[in-house]
Amino acid sequence: MSLTAVPNLGPATALTCRECGQSYDLGPRYACEQCFGPLEVTYDYSNVSRERIEAGPRNIWRYRDLLPVPPNVTETPNTEPGFTRLVRSDNLAESLGLRSLWVKDDSGNPTHSFKDRVVGVALAAARELGFKVLACPSTGNLANAVAAAAARAGIRSAVFVPSNLEQQKIVATAVYGGTFVTVDGNYDDVNRLASEIAGEQEDWAFVNVNVRPYYAEGSKTIGYEVAEQLGWRLPDQIVVPIASGAQLTKIDKAFQELITLGLVEDKPYKVFGAQATGCSPVAAAFKAGHDVVRPVKPDTIAKSLAIGNPADGPYVLDAVRRTGGAIEDVSDEEVIEGIGLLARTEGIFGETAGGVTLASLRKLVASGALDPAAETVMINSGDGLKTLDAVAAVARPSANIAPSFDAFRKAGLA
Ligand SMILES: *Cc1c(COP(=O)(O)O)cnc(C)c1O
Ligand SMILES: [Zn+2]
């Protein structure tokens, strides 16, 4: 692999170990050589200002002064994700007994989930680092996003998914071309295989494995957007789904950066996590008061969140405990109810992850962990059209009739 000698990743200055603090030059590395801890991007924030952000494009690149991407990132083909709508959700708030609620609707991204954000940043960084192929192990949405982004960038993709994935996500990956492998195993098996392949295929950027430090930074853009869309202020509470836990920890990082940089007023906020009970290792650790997350074997309809051994689990626990939040988990029945409630009250069809988040939010209100009088944001991280099977049994037409007015009248629907 021909590595770029000194990559220009804009404001990014180094990679720093989250465990021991050891610092490394920017490059295709992801684990600390001293302690094997995960690496995190550090920055020179001197170019950041509200004015520069507001003058930027209506996608994640408006935050490029806060991301590990080359200065010319807007000139190379990418899927340009982000700046999805923040929906004021009064009907849902009323139904849940909340004073003020917003849904950050990330189903509006190019491949209909929040994964376009992380892939956008990973692609930009991977190209600058000299990688030739964009790859990933995925629970589905990441595969969609990687295959699409690579197609648009004109490079090869190679994605690996569990073979029991939703049909919608299989088709929505295959359609972009590229190398696409289904694996007889669960996500954690696929992830292990990907790490092995990454060790052999030097010029393959597995976005969530060997370029993970850059990839994960893409999730910060949800936090920036929420703050900017609220008029440059932070919500009091935010509820976030957890798979690997990167999205939650990076939203928290984004809020902290905005406070440190003086872009929003410094005020307390609470970060809440949501999992499906059938894959709830982080919720279980939170509830038991543990610092370590014990891996589980996933069994839930919320396949996009079905990571039994979440890489960022301990950091999620840190962020949630530090901010005074909590983590809840919900059954598959509650997930289905959650999808229906979001659709009926706000006209937003979320995927199973959205159902997990809404059902968890509801439980957090009931338990008193979430303050009903405080301003709340919940993330809908994907589109319901990707997980149709989850609600196919309960989302049915009102009636099937002959094409006559008489038949309509007899159906009793007038
Ligand atoms: C991947 C995914 C998540 C969670 O992301 P992590 O950063 O791995 O915690 C949430 N929702 C959807 C729809 C996803 O695809
Ligand atoms: Zn270290």
Encode pLDDT of 77-112 as tens digits: 999 999 999 999 999 999 999 999 999 999 999 999
Residue in this structure with the two tokens 């790859």, named with its chain if needed: 135
Residue 22 to residue 336: CA distance in whole angstroms: 45
The pair of three-digit structure tokens given for residue 39, joined into one six-digit string = 């690496």
141 Cα nearest atom in ligand 1: 15
The rounded Å distance from CA 129 to ligand 2 centre is 22
Domain parsing of the chain, residue ranges: 12-71+115-215, 85-112+219-390
The rounded Å distance from CA 242 to ligand 1 centre is 6
* Burial class of residue 230 (count of CB atoms within 10 Å of its CB; 0-12, 13-18, 19+): middle
Q: Whose CA is nearest to atom 8 of ligand 1?
A: 244
347 Cβ neighbours under 8 A, 6+ residues apart: none
Give the C-alpha distances (Å, rounded to integers) separating 212 from 13, 40, 304.
Answer: 16, 9, 18
Dihedral sign from CA coordinates of 70, 75, 78, 81 = positive
The pair of three-digit structure tokens given for residue 341, joined into one six-digit string = 């409630």
Residues with CB under 6 A from ligand 1: 113-115, 141, 219, 241-247, 304-305, 351, 353, 381-382
The rounded Å distance from CA 42 to ligand 1 centre is 23
Ligand nearest to the CA of 29: 2
Give yes or no on whether 12-71+115-215 and 85-112+219-390 have one common fold. Answer: yes
**Of 193, 154, 204, 209, nearest to 177 (Cα)?**
154
The rounded Å distance from CA 141 to ligand 2 centre is 31
Write down the pLDDT at residue 32.
Answer: 97
Backbone angles phi, psi at 328, to 5 degrees: -120, 160
106 Cα nearest atom in ligand 1: 13
Alpha helix segments (H runs only) across 19-154: 50-54, 90-96, 115-129, 141-153
Task: Decide: 262 and 282 in contact? Cβ < 8 Å.
Answer: no
DSSP secondary structure letters along 9-36:
-TTEEEEEETTT--EE-SSS--B-TTT-
The pair of three-digit structure tokens given for residue 5, joined into one six-digit string = 């000698």
Estimate to the nearest angstrom the gap between the alpha carbon of 72 and the chain centroid. 25
Write down the pLDDT at residue 86.
Answer: 98
250 Cα nearest atom in ligand 1: 7
Task: Decide: 178 and 150 in contact? Cβ < 8 Å.
Answer: yes
Question: What is the CATH code for 12-71+115-215?
Answer: 3.40.50.1100
The rounded Å distance from CA 398 to ligand 2 centre is 59
Write down the pLDDT at residue 164.
Answer: 87
Write down the pLDDT at residue 4.
Answer: 58
Q: Whose CA is nearest to atom 11 of ligand 1?
A: 381
Task: Decide: 262 and 401 in contact? Cβ < 8 Å.
Answer: no
Write down the pLDDT at residue 85.
Answer: 98
Domain 85-112+219-390 CATH class label: alpha beta
| Sheet strand arrangement including 23-24 | 23-24, 12-17, 39-43
Residue 164 to residue 286: CA distance in whole angstroms: 29
Average pLDDT per block of 10 residues along the chain, 414 residues long: 76 97 95 96 97 97 98 94 98 98 98 98 97 95 97 97 89 96 93 94 95 98 98 98 98 98 98 98 98 95 94 97 98 98 98 98 98 98 94 93 96 91
3-state class of 60 per DSSP? Answer: helix
Task: Decide: 385 and 343 in contact? Cβ < 8 Å.
Answer: no
